[in-house]
Amino acid sequence: MTITTSTPQASFSQPDIPVTQVRQNQGAELDAIAKYRRAANYLAATQIYLKDNVLLREPLKPEHIKDRLLGHWGTCPGINLVYAHLNRLIRRYDANMFLVTGPGHGAPANLANLYLEGSLRDYYPDLSFDEAGVYRLVKQFSWPGGFPSHLYPGIPGTIHEGGELGYALATAFGAVMDNPDLVVACIVGDGESETGPTATAWHGTKFIDPAESGAVLPILHLNGYKIASPSIFGTMSDEELLHLFTGYGYQVRIVEDEDLDADMYASMDWAYQEICRIQQAARSGNRISKPRWPLIILRSPKGWTGIKEADGVPIEGNFRSHQVPLKEVKSNPEHLELLENWFRSYRPEELFDEQGQPFPDILDQCPQGERRMGSNPHTFGGRMRQPLELPDLFNYAVPVEHPEAAQGCQRGESSVSNTYEVGKYLRDVIQQNPNNFRIFCPDELESNRLYKVLDVTQRNYQWPTGPFDGEIGPDGGRIIELLSEHTCQAFLQGYLLTGRHGLFPSYEAFLGIVTTMMDQYAKFLKYSKEFPWRPPVSSLNYLETSTLWRQEHNGFSHQNPGFINSVLDQQADYARVYLPPDANCLLSTIDHCLQSTGYVNLVIANKNPLPQWLSMEDAIAHCRAGGSVWQWASTDDGVDPDVVMVGIGDCPMLEVMAAAQILRNELPELRIRVVNVTDLLILEQNSTHPHGLDDDMFAALFTPDKPVIINFHGYPSLIKQMLFGRPTIERFQINGYQEEGTTTTPFDMQVRNGTSRYHLIMQAIRLAAQKNSRVSARANDRVRHYEYVLAAHGQYICETGEDPDEITNWQWC
């Protein structure tokens, strides 16, 4: 393969022809585009203000004005300019494109364009091409039951919701991965450009292989202001912007000519041709090293074409255009006149015919069918989605000895890393699905022992690396690793919402970095369900590893299980949390998650060698039930217990098992039932969550009235909120992470948080002794013993630096 080097040049990219010449040559086409923009601007502006007289058939009166003025005008004219020119590009090149709109509240503009191209009408037939259709479009904006002021799943062509800012660009990169023919244009606004997630997402091109993936065309739209003040990027000079984005690796063109249409026309052509050049080079075996993808920076006045000035203050061109430029139009006749003049400056009579239908020369500006950006098939990921080819789970089964069998892994032996085993399975998932499954990870794939996947693939990275840099390179590769959880999440969202599959493994403590993104995504899922034309996409699968219980070496800062709580804040229909206790359960869980659609699945499993408990058959049954009595670990099969001991999570379950074993030997008269819960949501009431156990099944697992000790992986508060409302909850004692951590030993983490086997034993003895005279006779004695054991423990680990051997190498027998 030939590699040509394209070193950064610190100069703006030149158009093929000067802007003035574009105006001369393409004058008619530009005029048509400008007229289209007038229609789009008119529709955008009136959505914010009008509830009647939407085509200005009569003079504007206060009663035509909405009672509550909501919406954001400032960003709309820029979006309309971009949309119009993207339409032109699509028609010229028959391009396969759609748009990700970053600016938060630009929906009036998007809606205007989607109306004109007819995509909106395909899903909302009453938004017809007549006066009634325009009336409904305009009135229902920011109206109860209508469209919100930002994009959401009810708007076709949308894969990114403009709520929390910062993720548009990385979402666009995720969408083009493995879609070689797709170009996703992405508008990044002033506000968004200040966020950290956007600031690092500019590196996205370094993860896009131009041979296997499509391209993102970023359009940084600077109108100079955010809500109430100038934006950082708006105050940067052209030179500063040029340097910055040359540094990121782009070729830059700034569209800021007085003739914005002509400038944008030429720039779009330039950008599309540059994209083609880079792709063709890579696809013909002449890969360009460090390809410099095009970037368009659009400087346009905020609220361009709007009201120039009111009450002696300029409106167009500064932050006063951000939302509703004039708020008192209902009561202030002068302002009402300004508003009417503004609307009439678009000459609506030239835009809509007598029936209210947009004139054909306007509609002709739009592409047709699936080339319309609101109808691009990739934006309906659920329709594009192909289920994964999944290997046979039993090929990866960790052999676990049944009590009656004599081969395989000893039950309770700590010889297997659960995530390592899953790595083998994922390796084969990758091999069987070479084009629609990716792993996104913040540089923790190896640390989390998923490295078997590197046997068949590599990290996908486009900038040159060294010969000893491990499994990394520009030619394909299913692994995307960069140290930005935000970017991993947004890449994955873009990938999923365009119909593909993925996995996001992460350290537990740092997955919470994407808390609000996950919330926004769950909201997107919830809303999506309201629209039958938007079938569900693959679930968003988190594999949360390196959990607090085994981050004893990294210390307190690495100990934070809060992401579980955040997932459970989501509605029951979308949130799933699994804590498989061993490798076979983890395999079964991951296999289930990769098949599922429409959920946020959080799977929690450690990477360290841990005891194995269940054969694959038993694991599948256990996972299907969500939780079950482990009769073989219980006294008398768990029938009529004094105490129920429940483990939720791999490390807490190990302590439960150790406690059960010790009790069986030392206090055989104390009858223990051992339960493991792997699907956390079974604890919810069945009226609250579809996985929730009904009262009978709940009693069957936890008895109707016996004391229950729960040893939970996360914060006890979570179990408390789930059990609330169950009968007799005072019998539940809940252990979990009490935010007590430091650099210490694994067992000391359990001791500090009161989840250790010895704590469990003392709790069980105390609870049983209250009701059971068999136990109470020896209870005090044993409790004192374990208090002593715990007291001695602290000194021991400080002296030796490690846990006693019998704890580290504990085995079930």
Q: Find the shortest distance in angstroms from Cβ 262 to its own copies.
A: 26
Q: Does residue 22 interact with its own copies by CB under 8 A?
A: no
Q: Does residue 772 interact with its own copies by CB under 8 A?
A: no
At which residue do the structure tokens 């309201």 appear?
530
Q: How many CB atoms lie within 10 A of CB 391?
A: 17
Q: Does residue 336 interact with its own copies by CB under 8 A?
A: no
| Greatest CA separation for the chain | 102
Taking CB under 8 A as the criterion, the residue among 724, 771, 788, 809 binding its own copies is: 724
In angstroms, the CA 249 to CA 253 distance is 13
Range 176-205, binding its own copies (CB under 8 A): 191-192, 194-203
Contact 343, 46 (CB under 8 A): yes
Taking CB under 8 A as the criterion, the residue among 399, 562, 598, 609 binding its own copies is: 562
Alpha helical stretches, state H, 691-772? 695-702, 716-723, 746-752, 757-771
Q: How many CB atoms lie within 10 A of CB 553?
A: 10
Give the DSSP per-residue string, 172-200.
Answer: HHHHHTT-TTEEEEEEE-HHHHTSHHHHH
Which of residues 335 and 523 has its CB atom nearest to its own copies in the complex? 523
Q: Does residue 723 interact with its own copies by CB under 8 A?
A: yes
- How many chain residues are in contact with its own copies, going by CB under 8 A? 132
Q: Does residue 666 interact with its own copies by CB under 8 A?
A: no
Q: Find the shortest distance in angstroms from Cβ 316 to its own copies.
A: 11
The token duo for 100 is 């990700």
Q: Find the shortest distance in angstroms from Cβ 571 to its own copies.
A: 5
Q: Find the shortest distance in angstroms from Cβ 677 to its own copies.
A: 18
Q: Does residue 558 interact with its own copies by CB under 8 A?
A: yes
Give the DSSP per-residue string, 554-586.
Answer: T-GGG---HHHHHHHHS-TTTEEEE--SSHHHH
Contact 653, 610 (CB under 8 A): no
109-117, 223-231, 295-303, 612-620 -> range binding its own copies (CB under 8 A): 223-231
Q: Does residue 686 interact with its own copies by CB under 8 A?
A: no
Q: Find the shortest distance in angstroms from Cβ 668 to its own copies.
A: 32
Q: Find the shortest distance in angstroms from Cβ 472 to its own copies.
A: 5
Contact 506, 419 (CB under 8 A): no
Is the C-alpha dihedral spanning 612, 618, 620, 622 positive or negative?
negative
Q: Does residue 414 interact with its own copies by CB under 8 A?
A: no
Q: What SS3 state is found at 784?
A: helix
Contact 638, 673 (CB under 8 A): yes
Taking CB under 8 A as the criterion, the residue among 14, 415, 717, 780 binding its own copies is: 717
Report the half-sphere exposure of 427 (CA within 13 A, side-chain side). Answer: 16
- Amino acid at residue number 129: F
Q: Find the shortest distance in angstroms from Cβ 449 to its own copies.
A: 11
27-35, 73-81, 158-166, 180-188 -> range binding its own copies (CB under 8 A): 158-166
Q: Find the shortest distance in angstroms from Cβ 634 to its own copies.
A: 27
Secondary structure percentages of the chain, helix, strand, coil, to 5: 45, 15, 40
Range 263-302, binding its own copies (CB under 8 A): none
Which of residues 455 and 636 has its CB atom nearest to its own copies in the complex? 455
Entry field: residues in the chain = 813
Q: Find the shortest distance in angstroms from Cβ 405 to its own copies.
A: 34
Q: Find the shortest distance in angstroms from Cβ 572 to its own copies.
A: 9
Angle at 792 between CA 789 and CA 798, to 5 degrees: 135
At which residue do the structure tokens 């840099």 appear?
469
Contact 375, 156 (CB under 8 A): yes
Contact 617, 579 (CB under 8 A): no
Q: Does residue 804 interact with its own copies by CB under 8 A?
A: no
Q: Does residue 149 interact with its own copies by CB under 8 A?
A: yes
The token duo for 229 is 């003040």
In angstroms, the CA 764 to CA 608 distance is 28
Closest to 523 in 3D by CA, of 102, 161, 277? 161
Q: Does residue 10 interact with its own copies by CB under 8 A?
A: yes
21-29, 229-237, 592-600, 625-633 -> range binding its own copies (CB under 8 A): 229-237
Which of residues 289 and 355 has its CB atom nearest to its own copies in the complex? 289
Contact 486, 513 (CB under 8 A): yes
Q: Find the shortest distance in angstroms from Cβ 171 to its own copies.
A: 14
Q: Does residue 52 interact with its own copies by CB under 8 A?
A: no
Q: Find the shortest distance in angstroms from Cβ 716 to its own copies.
A: 8
What is the CA 443 to chain-centroid distance, rounded?
Answer: 18
Q: Does residue 495 interact with its own copies by CB under 8 A?
A: no
Taking CB under 8 A as the criterion, the residue among 219, 718, 760, 761 binding its own copies is: 718
Q: Does residue 483 interact with its own copies by CB under 8 A?
A: yes
Q: Does residue 461 interact with its own copies by CB under 8 A?
A: yes
- How deeply is 562 buried, as exposed, middle or buried, from its count of CB atoms within 10 A (0-12, 13-18, 19+)? middle
Q: Does residue 319 interact with its own copies by CB under 8 A?
A: yes
Q: Find the shortest distance in angstroms from Cβ 550 to its own copies.
A: 13
86-94, 114-122, 126-134, 509-517 -> range binding its own copies (CB under 8 A): 509-517
In angstroms, the CA 118 to CA 370 distance is 11
Range 736-765, binding its own copies (CB under 8 A): 738-739, 742-745, 748
At which residue do the structure tokens 């410099």 appear?
292
Taking CB under 8 A as the criterion, the residue among 26, 75, 101, 560 binding its own copies is: 560
The helix (H) or strand (E) run that includes residue 98 is strand 96-101
The token duo for 586 is 């983890």
The token duo for 693 is 């156990």
Q: Does residue 532 interact with its own copies by CB under 8 A?
A: no
Binding mask 415-454 for its own copies (x = CB under 8 A): ----------------------------xxxxx-------
Taking CB under 8 A as the criterion, the residue among 6, 12, 52, 70 binding its own copies is: 70
Taking CB under 8 A as the criterion, the residue among 14, 24, 229, 286 binding its own copies is: 229
Taking CB under 8 A as the criterion, the residue among 67, 94, 258, 404 binding its own copies is: 67
Q: Find the shortest distance in angstroms from Cβ 732 to its own copies.
A: 9
